[in-house]
Structure 1
């Protein structure tokens, strides 16, 4: 049986003697070394990032270990006093504009990765798996804008959402299925290069997230 991409990546890290703070090879070289597709490699990296075992510096690469303090200090100031409702409100202001821009600038590879991510969202069996693919979905949209400032900002937003007391909960399968269908509708509009519709669908999605939050 073929070994999962995540296991192959973990074996590579262990066998290479890499330690926290070391940078991984560029995606293309790493995919070639592991004989993986870049899609499968990115999914494995996303799993490690969600678990806090790697972090990505915009334009700098992927590093092993926790994000350095100079980054987390700024996150602490942003989190101060923030509630899940505050974060949902911030996302409602930002992300419809992000996706409208991404619909115009996304490459075919970006759109294929988003489509795959939306499918994985739909197959999530629990809240933990859902969170992993949901965070990746929204970060992929930011990456598709090709704007380093937007990518960095979305990375911060995702980091805030990962904090246990700030996480949205998608505990039931019906909620996860509903949100997954909304993700798929956003991607469909992006594939049509219809930024206005994509932005409208993102706004509808985030309003749903906000509405389902506990008071």
Structure 2
């Protein structure tokens, strides 16, 4: 149902020719317009938010595009001059520690959602679909830490990765399949509550990501 809701939502945006910066209707109005439940709509919006395609602010509503710099003071300094290699290096330092913490704090629902996300990742048909589920996977791990600072930082990292010059491509199916297997290995370790192994599997994954990114600066 989540994929159907996402398809309907993207169709709604396309039919109305909505652009980055445009506001979406309230959840209630949008769910009624799409003929879906608010729960399914929230899941679809969460996927788009993780992929940097919408942003939500408390008391502000939901908007298309990435979060504007004026609403994310830390984003400008992190994004300025960052190459794909810079971002990959930062992720390699941070994310294994995030997943180790998440392993100790994740709820059963968190783990079930991560497992589901990893499966969807494995079924991605192209780079755009891969990126959607990949960004959601890494954000879900941050959310499982229950640490607002880590969650905010991961949202910023996902936003940085959406820049055309900073986006790492997973264009071939073999690469996508390999990365999906690594995501699944991370989740398996988390389900066993083995934080050290989960961190090691995440480190292996991010080393693979880093290896595939040219070292040149922008």
Q: TM-score, normalised by structure 2?
A: 0.80
Q: How many residues align?
A: 203
1:91-130 to 2 correspondences below 5 Å: 91-130=91-130
Query: Which residue of structure 2 lines up, in the alignment, with residue 137 of structure 1?
Result: 137
Q: 1:69, CA displacement in angstroms?
A: 3.6
Query: Which residue of structure 1 lines up, in the alignment, with residue 161 of structure 2?
Result: 161
Let me know the Cα RMSD of the aligned residues. Answer: 3.0
| C-alpha separation in 2, matches of 1:79 and 1:118 | 27
| C-alpha separation in 2, matches of 1:211 and 1:119 | 24
1:197-208 to 2 correspondences below 5 Å: 197-208=197-208
Structure 2: segments with no counterpart, 5+ residues: 16-20
Query: Which residue of structure 1 lines up, in the alignment, with residue 18 of structure 2?
Result: none
| C-alpha separation in 1, matches of 2:60 and 2:192 | 31
> Which range moves more in the overlay, 122-131 or 74-83?
74-83
Following TM superposition, where does structure 1 have runs of at least 4 consecutive aligned residues deviating by more than 6 angstroms?
Answer: 10-14
Q: TM-score, normalised by structure 1?
A: 0.81
Query: Which residue of structure 1 lines up, in the alignment, with residue 90 of structure 2?
Result: 90
Structure 1: segments with no counterpart, 5+ residues: none
* Contact preservation (8 Å) 1:23, 1:64: no
Instruction: Classify 1:195/1:42 alpha carbon distance in 2 versus 1 (closer, same or farther; 3 Å).
Output: farther
Instruction: Classify 1:191/1:172 alpha carbon distance in 2 versus 1 (closer, same or farther; 3 Å).
Output: same
